[in-house]
Chain A
């Protein structure tokens, strides 16, 4: 009897061993430093679309040091202000159960986005918080403190604390 393997879409791609390009390597190295690497420092490394793709690669393929993918996600979320590819990536992380750290990185950038771009991301964050209490613990205060009143209202409607934790 033949067993036909099913195509499985991995929620979290396996970490790549190395960056796929010199640009990805440069972005990853910038975001790997302990002090001082910022999205502003990454932006001049290449053409905007290429830098965006490199940031998405670092966010989804790198796992070490742990702050490199998290901060790449923050930079991608900032780009979501005007970039639809970045917005789609950020939206995807909010819905990925395995990527709570990237999802929170997106939430932390919502005040830097225009309200019309922030609102759907905030809605996605609230949906995740309904089933991921630990995510909600950290997302709620960020949403509540948003500069966008609609986002703050979404945050205020979320429960506080973790279930079962005094």
Chain B
């Protein structure tokens, strides 16, 4: 892992030291602070003229939660206001919803404008498991800043980890690599070049990111570079044998710094179907599943949720209000919440809109 310490001990807002380093092409500001009596951590960090987007991540230990409560730009404008976002039917960032690890990428989309240089303030609130604000919680905060304003095209490094014996199964390995070819084509449609590397990982008994294997996921993230999105292929997602989970992202957006949420996990066996052998249609869908989950990780929400009442905040993914109209309008979109199928075939879900591309291109891991 390449790391160059650029600046040490920049003054933080409340007297804590911020450390700024350059690592894998990203400028990283890190600090750890304890929430005050109101369960609040407030800190400031600088954005330089040549920096174009940042990914803020807050992590609290144990069974506590954090939310990115406010993000205030150098002009004093609150650009992320959790209280306001909680009341809206459109989703902009998952960082405003309580979790052990939360991230916000800014700017989120083109309508947010260019990243403003100057002094930014982030307000993190820490809560208990029942979402009551909790004081005295040690909170690790990282800001990753990228210097790349080419938001029409970019590259994303993706490391596929074969865990739990999948690497011993040549059929699964070949199928996964074939599925990444579909995936590449989907991302290419929004100017995103996906570059894949592959690695074996011994332990395969993994729950979803953020749900009990924090050290394992941190180790996985430490095994790749800081700007890489990690995809862990397991035989079955641990703890979900009763159905319901075929792939899951560690956040929307997900964190790049090593945390228990710094991965996407995909269940290989359920994607292979009843005969455990991928046919062409299943390979396409497997590629879509991985691309869908990494789509979440780089900031994309479902264009509509399955209650047909909540939506993403993208202008060119139309809002719809029932199954038929949503399937007609959005059923071919990669981020649709379910594949549109008959018992024996599914429509291809490989579309990504220009607006979705704007979000993906601004993710800090895209260079």
Could you tell me if A74 and B343 are in contact, using CB atoms closer than 8 angstroms?
Answer: no
The contact size tier of chain A is 35 or more
Pick the interface stretch among B76-84, B135-143, B165-173: B165-173
State how many angstroms separate the Cβ of B287 from the closest Cβ of chain A.
13
B window 261-297: CB within 8 A of A: 267, 269-277, 281-282, 285, 289, 292
Determine which residue in A12, A31, A60, A62 has the highest number of CB atoms from chain B within 10 A of its CB, and name it. A62
Cβ contacts under 8 Å, A36 to chain B: 244-245
Indicate which residue in B241, B269, B342 contacts A64 across the interface (CB closer than 8 Å).
B342
CA distance A134 to B275 in the complex (A): 12
Could you tell me if A63 and B274 are in contact, using CB atoms closer than 8 angstroms?
Answer: yes
State how many angstroms separate the Cβ of A103 from the closest Cβ of chain B.
8
Majority secondary structure of chain A interface residues (helix, strand, loop or mixed): helix
Interface mask (B191-233 → A, CB under 8 Å = 1, otherwise 0): 0000000000000110000000000000000000000000000
Question: Which residue of chain B has the shortest Cβ distance to A161 in the bound complex?
Answer: B168
Cβ contacts under 8 Å, A42 to chain B: 243
Could you tell me if A73 and B169 are in contact, using CB atoms closer than 8 angstroms?
Answer: no
Could you tell me if B204 and A141 are in contact, using CB atoms closer than 8 angstroms?
Answer: yes
Indicate which residue in A61, A71, A165 contacts B170 across the interface (CB closer than 8 Å).
A165
Cβ contacts under 8 Å, A12 to chain B: 274-275
Whether a CB of chain A sits under 8 angstroms from the CB of B164 is: yes
CA distance A41 to B108 in the complex (A): 34
Could you tell me if B248 and A35 are in contact, using CB atoms closer than 8 angstroms?
Answer: yes
Cβ contacts under 8 Å, B269 to chain A: 70, 101, 104-105, 138
CA distance A31 to B306 in the complex (A): 13
Majority secondary structure of chain B interface residues (helix, strand, loop or mixed): loop
Could you tell me if B168 and A75 are in contact, using CB atoms closer than 8 angstroms?
Answer: no
Given A70-B270, A74-B242: A64 and B344 interface contact (C-beta under 8 Å):
yes
Cβ contacts under 8 Å, B338 to chain A: 29, 32-34, 65
Could you tell me if B242 and A39 are in contact, using CB atoms closer than 8 angstroms?
Answer: yes
Cβ contacts under 8 Å, A28 to chain B: 343
Could you tell me if B341 and A101 are in contact, using CB atoms closer than 8 angstroms?
Answer: no
Question: Which residue of chain B has the shortest Cβ distance to A28 in the bound complex?
Answer: B343
Pick the interface stretch among A16-24, A116-124, A150-158: A16-24
Question: Which residue of chain A has the shortest Cβ distance to B249 in the bound complex?
Answer: A35
Cβ contacts under 8 Å, A138 to chain B: 165, 169, 235, 269
B window 291-332: CB within 8 A of A: 292, 306
Whether a CB of chain A sits under 8 angstroms from the CB of B337 is: yes
State how many angstroms separate the Cβ of B247 from the closest Cβ of chain A.
7
Could you tell me if B204 and A64 are in contact, using CB atoms closer than 8 angstroms?
Answer: no
CA distance A17 to B343 in the complex (A): 5
Given A33-B338, A137-B169: A66 and B244 interface contact (C-beta under 8 Å):
no
Cβ contacts under 8 Å, B242 to chain A: 38-40, 74-75, 78, 109, 112
Whether a CB of chain B sits under 8 angstroms from the CB of A81 is: no
Whether a CB of chain A sits under 8 angstroms from the CB of B111 is: no
Cβ contacts under 8 Å, A99 to chain B: 274-275
Could you tell me if A38 and B343 are in contact, using CB atoms closer than 8 angstroms?
Answer: no
Cβ contacts under 8 Å, A66 to chain B: 270-274, 282, 285
State how many angstroms separate the Cβ of B275 from the closest Cβ of chain A.
6
Determine which residue in B165, B170, B285, B346 has the highest number of CB atoms from chain A within 10 A of its CB, and name it. B165
Question: Which residue of chain A has the shortest Cβ distance to B235 in the bound complex?
Answer: A138
CA distance A142 to B242 in the complex (A): 14
Indicate which residue in B244, B246, B273 contacts A69 across the interface (CB closer than 8 Å).
B273
Residues of B within 8 A of A (CB): 164-165, 168-171, 204-205, 235-236, 241-248, 267, 269-277, 281-282, 285, 289, 292, 306, 337-339, 341-346
Can you add 8 more A-B contacts, CB < 8 Å, to A61-B343, A134-B276? A64-B281, A66-B282, A67-B271, A70-B272, A71-B270, A101-B274, A104-B276, A138-B269
Closest 7 CB pairs of A and B: A66-B273, A100-B276, A71-B243, A101-B276, A67-B270, A38-B244, A15-B344
